[in-house]
């Protein structure tokens, strides 16, 4: 793997789309260039006649950037179905399948801080664009950036029938009702705290679960593009203080949070204690295998938990490991008809749905796990640990100056430690970043973000929670940060 030294202003798709700071690289001109690239791709592959879905999140001016995409694509003679409301990324993805569209674009920066926005392309299979598709989109961009891109003004495009407004919610809600017994969940009498994080997930849990004994208390269920009170709309512990405070009052069975575009989920137990993303992935896998009795391959990114590998051994199902991002996980899920796919960031995809992360569905499955077993989240985690052993995890995100990136990459590339925090290194691999296996004690990994100027240091250890910080500290020392 070689370090990408292209200038940061170059439009480059990361693990899931292109993201940049609004008003700097994220401009209407650059979004139009991306839209033109998508139109060229649809025409090249005979998908133009099926049209394009365009949706957007709750960030600043997202609906205006969505209009800009629609104007460019309509000017190329491709019909656009433009969402009439802001909506989650998985809702756009499902709309592609439901409407048999040629693909979809989502204007979103997912979990990034408020100054960012982004552009995700979803192919006709409704998942993240594969590396091969991404390469084709990027190949045409240098000839489009800085050019005057033809466009059809949005009002004229609507009048000409080239842009149709539609509500994507009803078909998506009907799809979830096919995947899970909503009537049982409504009658389960659960008390749920839900944090929409000012994002697109607002209203969905209420729409799905209202009308019975289960009660959903929603936080931050309205649009505020600066995401006040949180570093970013990312469903991890540091951003969920309000939900934790609400749950500290007592009476809740579980806390659920979804990120800015609702494709990722965060879970808190009945006491408001955050259950980390690796634990949630293992719990959802355990639920599907043990409670629902389903069988199928498990797909995991390199940065997520070894607990699912242990579950694969126990239930005799294959486990496949990929690079980070659903652009790798999704295709592998389709190839293997996988039961579940998951990554460390809190994104989980499921068989029978789209090969894509869905925070709302993941949250519903967690509720179903609680309802079917009658156990509290803390009890379910203890049960999981009894089966696979206690695993503990944490991650450091360290911002980098551009001039430091190459030398830090080189240190990680050259690192060959015999031990980390006193634990013997048994293997080193470079599937995605630099991972050091610590035998049956865990692992350490360095990886450079595909969407932000960050280096991430990950660690998972078995048995002794105090080792997590020691392994992370050793990782910082290895790469000199």
Report the C-alpha gap between 257 and 264 in whole angstroms.
8
pLDDT tens-digit series, residues 170-217 = 999 999 999 999 999 999 999 999 999 999 999 999 999 999 999 999
Report the C-alpha gap between 472 and 409 in whole angstroms.
17
Report the C-alpha gap between 60 and 86 in whole angstroms.
12
Q: Is the dihedral of CA 370, 375, 378, 380 positive or negative?
A: negative
Q: Do domains 18-168 and 180-388 have the same CATH topology?
A: yes
Residue 59 has a pLDDT of 97
Residue 335's Cβ-side half-sphere holds a number of Cα atoms within 13 Å equal to: 12
Residues found in the chain: 481
Residue 204 has a pLDDT of 98
In the numeric block, which tokens belong to residue 74? 């309509």
* The domain made up of 391-479 is a member of CATH 3.40.50.1980: no
pLDDT tens-digit series, residues 119-137 = 999 999 999 999 999 999 9
How distant is the alpha carbon of residue 269 from its chain centre?
21
- Which helix (H) or strand (E) covers residue 218, if one does? strand 215-219
Edge-first strand listing for the sheet containing 442-448:
391-399, 454-462, 442-448, 434-437, 427-429
Tell the CATH topology of 18-168: Alpha-D-Glucose-1,6-Bisphosphate; Chain A, domain 3 (3.40.120)
> Dihedral angle at the C-alpha atoms of 398, 401, 404, 406, nearest 10 degrees?
90
Residue 7 has a pLDDT of 41
What number is the average pLDDT over the span 387-414?
89
* pLDDT, averaged across the chain: 94
Q: Is the dihedral of CA 290, 294, 296, 298 positive or negative?
A: negative
pLDDT at 452 over 90: no
Tell me the domain boundaries of the chain: 18-168, 180-388, 391-479
pLDDT tens-digit series, residues 4-14 = 444 434 688 88
pLDDT at 2 over 70: no
pLDDT band at 453 (very low <50, low <70, confident <90, very high): confident
Task: Please state, as a whole number, how many other Cβ atoms lie within 10 Å of the Cβ of residue 316.
Answer: 8
Whether the CB-CB separation of 466 and 447 falls below 8 Å is answered with no
Q: What is the DSSP letter of 201?
A: T
> What are φ and ψ of residue 387, in 5° steps?
-85, -40
pLDDT at 30 over 80: yes
What number is the average pLDDT over the span 18-33?
96
pLDDT at 356 over 60: yes
Exposure b/e, 356-380, CB count within 10 A at least 16 = b? bbbbbbbbbbbbbbbbeeeeebeeb
pLDDT at 299 over 90: yes
pLDDT at 290 over 90: yes
CATH number for the domain running over 180-388: 3.40.120.10
pLDDT band at 341 (very low <50, low <70, confident <90, very high): very high
């Amino acid at each position: 793997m070689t370090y990408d030294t292209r200038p940061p202003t170059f439009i480059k798709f990361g693990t899931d789309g292109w993201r940049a700071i609004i008003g700097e690289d994220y401009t209407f001109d650059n979004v139009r260039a991306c839209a033109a690239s998508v139109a060229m791709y649809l025409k090249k592959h005979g998908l133009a006649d099926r049209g394009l879905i365009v949706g957007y999140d709750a960030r600043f001016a997202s609906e205006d950037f969505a209009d800009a995409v629609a104007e460019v694509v309509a000017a190329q003679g491709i019909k656009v179905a433009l969402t009439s409301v802001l909506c989650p990324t998985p809702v756009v993805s499902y709309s592609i399948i439901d409407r048999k569209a040629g693909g979809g674009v989502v204007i979103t920066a997912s979990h990034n801080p408020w100054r960012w926005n982004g552009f995700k392309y979803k192919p006709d299979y409704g998942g993240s664009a594969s590396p091969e598709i991404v390469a084709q989109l990027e190949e045409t961009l240098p000839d489009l950036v800085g050019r005057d891109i033809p466009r059809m003004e949005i009002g004229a495009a609507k009048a000409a029938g080239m842009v149709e407004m539609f509500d994507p919610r009803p078909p998506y809600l009907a799809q979830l009702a096919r995947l899970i017994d909503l009537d049982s969940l409504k009658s389960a009498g659960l008390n749920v705290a839900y944090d929409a994080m000012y994002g697109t997930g607002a209203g969905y849990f209420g729409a799905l679960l209202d009308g019975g004994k289960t009660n959903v208390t929603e936080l931050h269920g309205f649009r505020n593009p600066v995401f006040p009170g949180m570093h970013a709309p990312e469903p991890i512990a540091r951003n969920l203080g309000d939900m934790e405070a609400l749950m500290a009052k007592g009476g809740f069975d579980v806390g659920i949070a979804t990120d800015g575009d609702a494709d990722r989920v965060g879970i808190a137990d009945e006491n408001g204690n955050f259950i980390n993303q690796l634990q949630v992935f293992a719990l959802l896998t355990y639920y599907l295998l043990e409670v629902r009795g389903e069988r199928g391959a498990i797909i995991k990114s390199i940065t997520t938990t070894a607990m699912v590998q242990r579950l694969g051994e126990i239930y005799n199902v294959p486990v496949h490991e990929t690079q980070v991002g659903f652009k790798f996980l999704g295709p592998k899920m389709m190839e293997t008809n996988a039961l579940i796919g998951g990554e460390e960031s809190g994104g989980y995809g499921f068989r029978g749905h789209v090969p894509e992360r869905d925070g709302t569905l993941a949250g519903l499955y967690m509720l179903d796990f609680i309802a079917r077993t009658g156990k509290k989240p803390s009890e379910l985690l203890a049960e999981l640990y009894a089966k696979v052993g206690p695993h503990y995890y944490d991650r450091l995100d360290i911002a980098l100056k551009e001039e430091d990136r190459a030398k830090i990459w080189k240190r990680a590339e050259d690192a060959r430690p015999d031990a980390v925090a006193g634990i013997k290194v048994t293997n080193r691999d470079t599937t995605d970043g630099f991972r050091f296996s610590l035998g049956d004690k865990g692992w350490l990994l360095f990886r450079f973000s595909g969407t932000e100027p960050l280096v991430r240091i990950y660690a998972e250890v078995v048995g002794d929670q105090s080792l997590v910080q020691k392994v992370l500290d050793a990782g910082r020392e290895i790469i000199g940060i």
